[in-house]
Amino acid sequence: MDNARLTAMLETLLVPSAGVPLSALAQSASRAGLPRDLAGSVFEQRGILLEALGDEADAARVVDALTRRFVEYVQGKNQFLPFSSDWPTLRSIFHGALVDVRGAIAESASATELDRLLRRALGAHLARLDELVRSLCPEPDRADDVLGAEPTSDEYSAELQLSVLRLELLDLMEPVLDVGCGTGASLVHYLRAYGLEAHGIDLVVPNDPPLAQADWMTYAYGVSRWGTVIAHMSFTNHFVFQDQCSEEQAEKYALTYMRILRSLKPGGAFHYAPAVPFIERHLPGEFLITRRPVAALSGPETTAGEQPSEERWHELVCAVRVHKRR
C-alpha cells in the first residue's frame, strides 16, 4: 500500500471531518462511529497496514499529514483557535492514535473484533482531540460550539484581496510577503504569474518553494527585508479578536505587528484589513498611515455575542497602508 492510500484510509478513520459528521468533538467522541465497511477493509489489508505502521519513517509522514489535515479542517470551522503553539501536542495525539490502531489490528482475529477495538480507539482519540480543542477555547462554556456546521473562514480570490486593499500591481515593492496566505495561496500565485517576487506563510500550505509552513507569530520576518507585506483578513483580523478576548494574546500580537513593521524596507508598506486603530494611533513618526473605509453591511459578533459600537465598527472596517518613510 502506498503512502497516499495509507494516509487516506487513516484520515477517514481519525480526522473527524472525513469520518464523523459533527457539530462538536464532544458529541462525536461519545458516538465514536466508524464509516461503513471500514473495519472489513482494514482487516483484509491488516498485514500491509501492520508493516506500514511499524515503519518509523512511514508513520512519521502519516502523522504529519493527519495533523495538517486536522488543522486545515479546524481552521475552516473556527479560524480563531490558536493551534499554532500546540502542534507538538496535536502530533502526539495522532501518533498515539496510530499506535492504538496498530494494536487493534494486531489483536484482532476477525473483522467483527477489529470493528469493536477500532471503535474504542476512535472514541479515545476523539476524546483527546476534544480535550485539546476545549483547552484552546477562550470561553469554556461555549466549547461545544467552536466547530459549528458552517465554516467561519474562507479563502479569497487575488482580485478581491487587491480590490479591498486598493492595490495595483505597480504599487507593490518587491519582495512581497502574504501573511496568512491560505492553503491555496491565490494571491501569491497571482503575483508571481505577473513576474513579482512573492512569498506566503500560513499554518497549512503545500510543499511549494514560494510558500512556508509557519506561524505568523513566530516567523522570522527579518529587518528591512520586505518591500510589501500583505495581510487580508488574516493577521489583523485575529489581532482585533484577541484585543477583545485576551490581554496576554493581544500583547503578543502587538509585538509581532511591530516586528512586521521592522521587516519593511525603507519605502515599503504593510497593507492590511481590518484596521487596528488601537495600535496605529501610537506608531512612531517614521510610519505614514493611510486608512480607507471598506463598504460593509454589519459587524462581526464578539466572543460574547455582542456587536461592536458603530463608531468602533467604522474604525475597524478599513483597508490600511502603513508606509515606512525612506
Q: Is the confidence at residue 242, as pLDDT, over 60? A: yes
Which domain-ending residue is among 145, 180, 196?
145
Coil/strand/helix, residue 271: strand
Same domain for 117 and 259, yes or no, is no
Residue 178 pLDDT > 50: yes
114 and 244 assigned to the same domain: no
Please report whether residue 152 resides in a domain.
no
65 and 138 fall within a common domain: yes
Residues 72 and 167 in one domain: no
Q: Within this chain, do residues 164 and 140 fall inside the same structural domain, yes or no?
A: no
Question: Is residue 126 one of the residues assigned to a domain?
Answer: yes
Of 292 and 23, more confident: 292
pLDDT value for 301: 40
Q: Would residue 49 count as lying in a domain?
A: yes
Q: Is residue 151 part of a domain?
A: no
Last residue of a domain, one of 145, 176, 196: 145
Both 306 and 240 in one domain: the answer is: yes
Residue 267 pLDDT level (bands cut at 50, 70, 90): very high
Q: How far apart are CA 155 and CA 223, in angstroms?
A: 29
Domains of the chain: total: 2
Residue 222, amino acid: G
Winning range, highest mean pLDDT, from 5-14, 115-124, 125-134, 226-235: 226-235
Question: In terms of domains, do 180 and 292 share one?
Answer: yes
Q: Do 164 and 309 fall within a single domain?
A: yes
Question: In the structure, what pLDDT confidence band is assigned to residue 23 with cuts at 50, 70 and 90?
Answer: very low
Same domain, 200 and 126: no
Quick check: is 153 in a domain?
no
Least confident of 78-82, 173-177, 291-295: 78-82
Q: CA-to-CA distance for 44 and 33, rounded, in angstroms? A: 20
Are 324 and 264 in contact by the 8 Å Cβ rule? The answer is yes
Residue 130, domain member (yes or no): yes
Report pLDDT for 177: 98
**Distance from C-alpha of 67 to C-alpha of 132, rounded to nearest angstrom:** 13
Residue 141 CA: distances (Å) to CA of 131, 137, 300, 303: 13, 9, 20, 11
Domain boundary among 117, 145, 173: 145
DSSP H helical segments within 231-317, as ranges?
Answer: 235-245, 247-262, 277-280, 310-316
Residue 229 sits in a domain whose CATH number is: 3.40.50.150
Per-residue model confidence (pLDDT) at position 146: 58
Residue 76 has pLDDT above 50, yes or no: yes
Domain enclosing residue 141, as ranges: 3-145
CB 247 within 8 A of CB 284: no
d(CA 229, CA 12): 38
Same structural domain, 97 and 46: yes
How many helices (H) and strands (E) in the chain?
Answer: 14, 7
Identify whether the C-beta of residue 201 lies closer than 8 Å to the C-beta of residue 212: yes
Peptide bond into 274 cis (omega under 30): yes
Q: Do 199 and 271 fall into the same domain?
A: yes
- Return the SS3 of 4: helix
Contact between residue 257 and residue 239 where contact means Cβ atoms under 8 Å apart: yes
Q: pLDDT per residue over 92-139, tens digit each?
A: 999 999 999 999 999 999 988 988 888 888 888 888 887 887 777 766
**Mean pLDDT: which of 47-61, 140-154, 289-303 is highest?**
47-61
d(CA 101, CA 30): 18
Lowest mean pLDDT among 120-124, 168-172, 184-188, 215-219: 120-124
Range among 20-24, 210-214, 221-225 rated most confident: 221-225
Share of the chain above pLDDT 90, in %: 41
* Predicted local confidence at residue 175, as pLDDT: 98
Mean pLDDT (the chain) is 82
Report the half-sphere exposure of 239 (CA within 13 A, side-chain side). Answer: 28
Please tell me whether residues 121 and 211 are part of one structural domain.
no
